[in-house]
Structure 1
């Protein structure tokens, strides 16, 4: 197969959770640009509608599912929608995550309720998504969203960092359990210019350029959702057919 054809997702069906904005939106659009039809999920209808319109304008099919993945049985609607599609599932991206209340905090100042909220969103939802994908998928690729914060210690970001470090371990174990029919890898973004990331360091979109003072990125700029989307296309495509159980850090060298 010619090398560029190995990056094609033509005829594939992909799920992207947390796809209403930011990195999830960037991944969903990138997978569609590579040829996949998409099922997108998030909690906000109007955000999903905008992303779906963008994907449909590319000539790809796109279905939306409004769902809260940390609610009891939160994946049921999404599973039912995927199962109803004419094509079988090939790609599942567990992107939903972040800071539930947009508040960074020290571990010693985290209540049990706040801890549970972080772990439910950033770890439990990933585990549940992998289980759903394995149930729906004959062969294919699962991509879990980790973070540069999973590596090392992080003041005021401890619960999130711990959950993302656990995502890396989860990814390695699922890769063993589901091989050889399903590949499971993680993507770990560095500082990306999204609302969630700016909130995590107490800044607004108008202050995005100042974020580089907090994150000395060797490549000299913040990442974009499109940067992560390109990496997701690679991990979802036949170009990475001999890669599983890995975490790809996309951080600009940070």
Structure 2
């Protein structure tokens, strides 16, 4: 008798690290639900590529995490797609500076919603399903969870909260659901550091690289590998944070 393929829901999965995570699970015979907020074309392209490899193995869902009613709606729609969810990857995130004195209610809400509230309430909504499946949750944190990133106070607080959320859910959902986190370091240069011809940008990059014992930035596949390990292979691990940052946290 053929076993039904497990299902993973990856939030913020249309591009970058999220897309790499979705591809990793799909490569390992998971059915994949790709959540996106604004990047519809990229999400559709990823789903089409997955379905070309294995028909009816991927689907996408749109939800704006700034609207609280969308969490329950997203969970219900996700369950309707394949009839089950075995793994939840909370990857969706907003990231931008918020120097003290410039923080608005809008930026506060956006960063807390995208990096903490949405992930918590989605996890809570799907907890029963994940318990039934003996499933797993993996949260995407940041290497700055223990030492805030300068001028990114709201983002840093949200990610630190997500670390506490990881450990709290690991206790409350045990033994049926394992809950872990991956804390990436410098993986892809942000837009502000993307100009290879700008001397100022190059100098800022060099300063970051000097903090990394391994001397280089990582890549999305390395994060995807770590996420998959915690979700699908590390059967005796829960409440843990796996840092994938080239050792940068040692020099923060």
TM-score of the two chains, using structure 2 as the length reference:
0.87
Structure 2: runs of 5 or more not aligned: none
Looking at structure 2, the residues matched to 131 and 176 of structure 1 have their Cα atoms a distance apart, in angstroms, of 13
Partner of 1:118: helix, strand, or coil? helix
Partner of 1:143: helix, strand, or coil? Answer: strand
Shift, 1:251, TM fit: 0.4
Shift of the 168–87 alpha-carbon distance from structure 1 to 2, 3 Å rule, reads same
1:33·1:58 contact (CA, 8 Å) conserved in 2? Answer: no
SS in 2 for 1:35: coil
What is the CA–CA distance in structure 1 between the aligned matches of 2:54 and 2:206, rounded to whole Å? 37
Aligned counterpart, 2:114: 121
1: distance between equivalents of 2:195 and 2:41? 21
Pair 1:198 & 2:193 matched:
no
Q: Does 1:16 align with 2:10?
A: yes
Aligned to 2:103: 110
Equivalent of 2:89 in 77, 83, 93: 93
Q: Which moved more, 1:146-155 or 1:202-211?
A: 202-211
Q: Is the 8 A contact 2:94 2:110 kept in 1?
A: no
Q: How many residues align?
A: 237
What is the correspondence of 1:67-216 to structure 2 with a 5 Å cutoff? 67-99=63-95, 103-137=96-130, 138=132, 139-193=134-188, 197-199=189-191, 202-204=192-194, 206=196, 211-215=205-209, 216=211
The root-mean-square deviation of aligned C-alpha atoms, in Å, is: 2.1
Task: Tell me: CA distance 1:233–1:20, structure 2 relative to 1, closer, same or farther (3 Å).
Answer: same
2:58 to 56, 62, 80: 62
Q: Secondary structure at the match of 2:155?
A: helix
Mark the CA change 1:52 to 1:154 in structure 2 (over 3 Å): closer, same or farther: same
Q: Which runs of 4+ in 1 moved over 4 A?
A: 207-210
183-192 or 105-114, larger mean C-alpha shift = 105-114
**What secondary structure does 1:244 align onto?**
coil
1:205 shift after superposition: 5.3
Alignment-derived partner of residue 220 in structure 2: 225
d(CA) in 2 for partners of 1:107, 1:247: 28
Please state how far the C-alpha of 1:111 moved relative to its aligned partner.
Answer: 2.3
CA drift of 1:79 comes to: 1.6
Separation (CA, whole Å) in 1 of partners of 2:220 and 2:75: 26
Cα distance change of structure 1 residues 51 and 206 upon mapping to structure 2, 3 Å threshold: farther
Partners of 1:141 and 1:84 in 2: how far apart?
Answer: 19
Report deviation, 1:11. 2.1
